[in-house]
Amino acid sequence: MNLSGKAGERIWWPWGEISPVIRRTGHKKITNLSKTKRRIIEARTIEVAILVAMSNHLYTFGGKVYLQTSGGPIGLRFTACLASALMKVWDMAWCELLNKEKIRTLIYKRYVDDSRNLLLPISEGWRWQDDKFKFNKATYAEDMKTSSYEQDQIRTRQELTKAMNSLVYFLRFTGEDWTMFANGRLPTLDTEVWVENNEVRFAFFEKPTVPNRTLQATTALSKSALYASLTQEVIRRMNNCCHATEPAARADIISKFAQKVVNSGHTNSACRKIIINGLVKYQLNLEKSRLPSNDPQYKPIYLRKEFKEHERQIAKMAQKENYYKANSNDQSWRSKVDSKWRIENFTQRKLKGMEYTTIMEVPNTPESKLFKLFTCAEPGLSRLTKYQVKFVEQSGTKLASLFQRKITPKRCKGLPAKYAISTPSTASKGTLVV
């Protein structure tokens, strides 16, 4: 697959094959085309739409309108979809190139624009030249003089980066390897990877610039949603550590997160409960991953998209309509947590022999006071009305949202006389003047 080309050239679809057909038929309906030619027409249509969207994107800054001259349109979902499709095509071209050059890749993974290749170092004397790897005796002699494991890694990174940049003329990659980092580990998103004893190992990683705080105790989220999110943060940190990670390293990761929780305004008691709940749930997930694959309770700790995909999609669709009724989520992990370590749960309890009939959303209040009043009064009302209402606490309003409301003449109609909406001649329209 050849994706190389110069600026302005079409590099994917052979439009020349179908152009004569269009010229012969004009704007008449085409019915005698083969499946391949129909796909070419569809591809051409998509290409035209992409070019129009990429070359006619306008945005405003400082009250002026600008035409974006390069790059993907800012703020459009279309840009992310196009980039995803392009990188999938690039993946195929890259794998084809590696096979052609007989470079064996043990692992190749990519997330958006970050890719990782696990492979043996390139042999001495080989360089990327003229769109292929070539052997040179002079460079071989130079490589043998400075041959070392570290130099082999650096040479492999440099030559593979050149090969990556040759596939698509407008994509430019930068290479990384473990020699560029002090601890000899390659950071990838929230994980760092390294090889030890011929085994790929990984552990949780976060950049030093990450704030030393997490979700604030005074956040607009409901208490149940807040604690659930923090519990999942503990599980994520444990999932990002391989089985060979030392207990001391895991303890250090958890200690740093606990400090973040305390810095965010949570009490020591709440912090302990969050940590213990997360560790217990992680341990249960670990036990499920060790069951036989034919066991109904089996669930791999690192879920692939294909794992019970059909069942999970059906359950997800059903939950959108019936999430407030029978709770089918697995809560067996809670039985393994001592009662004193359970986080206070403000969720409503069903009456015996009754199911929820409908739901009612309750505005967010400090310490969920309004939600507690409704849930305490509901059991008595349910016995009288013979149906039960499920109460759900809404999230609060972000502080930033309170300052985004625009002042218009219509909204300011009832203001006192000392307030007035200025005219365009004195100030910008819609500005409140005192």
Q: Is the pLDDT of residue 18 over 80?
A: no
The pLDDT of residue 357 is 76
The verdict on 87 and 140 lying in the same domain is yes
Give 132-143 pLDDT, tens digit per residue.
899 988 889 988
Query: How far apart (Å, rounded) are the C-alpha atoms in residues 137 and 120?
Result: 21
Domain-located, residue 408: no
User: Which domain, by its residues, includes 21?
Assistant: 15-75
The verdict on 31 and 124 lying in the same domain is no
The pLDDT of residue 294 is 87
Domain-located, residue 414: no
Query: How far apart (Å, rounded) are the C-alpha atoms in residues 121 and 111?
Result: 23
Q: Is the pLDDT of residue 39 over 80?
A: yes
Work out the pLDDT band at 220, boundaries 50, 70, 90: confident
Domain-located, residue 256: yes
Point out the domain boundary residue: 139, 160, 180: 180
The verdict on 226 and 296 lying in the same domain is yes
Point out the domain boundary residue: 290, 317, 336: 336
The pLDDT of residue 81 is 87
Provide the residue count of the chain: 434
Q: Which stretch of 124-128, 259-263, 286-290, 351-355 has the lowest confidence by average pLDDT?
A: 351-355
Domain-located, residue 6: no
Domain-located, residue 292: yes
The verdict on 328 and 250 lying in the same domain is yes
Q: Which residue has the higher pLDDT, 313 or 427?
A: 313
Average per-residue pLDDT for the chain: 78
| Element of type H or E holding 156 | helix 149-165
Q: Which residue has the higher pLDDT, 157 or 4?
A: 157
The verdict on 174 and 227 lying in the same domain is no
The pLDDT of residue 308 is 80
Q: How far apart are the first and last CA of the chain?
A: 67
pLDDT > 70: what percent of the chain? 76
Q: Is the pLDDT of residue 328 over 70?
A: no
Give 345-369 pLDDT, tens digit per residue.
555 556 666 677 777 888 878 777 8
Domain-located, residue 70: yes
Neighbours of 288 (CB within 10 A): 17
Work out the pLDDT band at 433, boundaries 50, 70, 90: very low
Q: SS3 of 68, please?
A: coil
The verdict on 326 and 261 lying in the same domain is yes
Tokens of 423: 């005219």
> What is the total count of domains within the chain?
4
Give 40-93 pLDDT, tens digit per residue.
888 888 888 888 888 888 888 888 888 888 777 777 888 888 888 889 999 999
Domain-located, residue 96: yes
The verdict on 318 and 276 lying in the same domain is yes
Query: How far apart (Å, rounded) are the C-alpha atoms in residues 54 and 81?
Result: 13
The verdict on 145 and 166 lying in the same domain is yes
The verdict on 197 and 313 lying in the same domain is yes
The verdict on 51 and 97 lying in the same domain is no
The pLDDT of residue 112 is 85
The pLDDT of residue 253 is 93
The verdict on 176 and 191 lying in the same domain is no
The pLDDT of residue 160 is 92
Domain-located, residue 401: no
The verdict on 224 and 304 lying in the same domain is yes
Q: Is the pLDDT of residue 215 over 50?
A: yes
Q: Which stretch of 166-170, 206-210, 384-388, 405-409 has the lowest confidence by average pLDDT?
A: 405-409
Give 367-376 pLDDT, tens digit per residue.
778 888 888 8
Query: How far apart (Å, rounded) are the C-alpha atoms in residues 117 and 157?
Result: 10
Point out the domain boundary residue: 31, 58, 75: 75
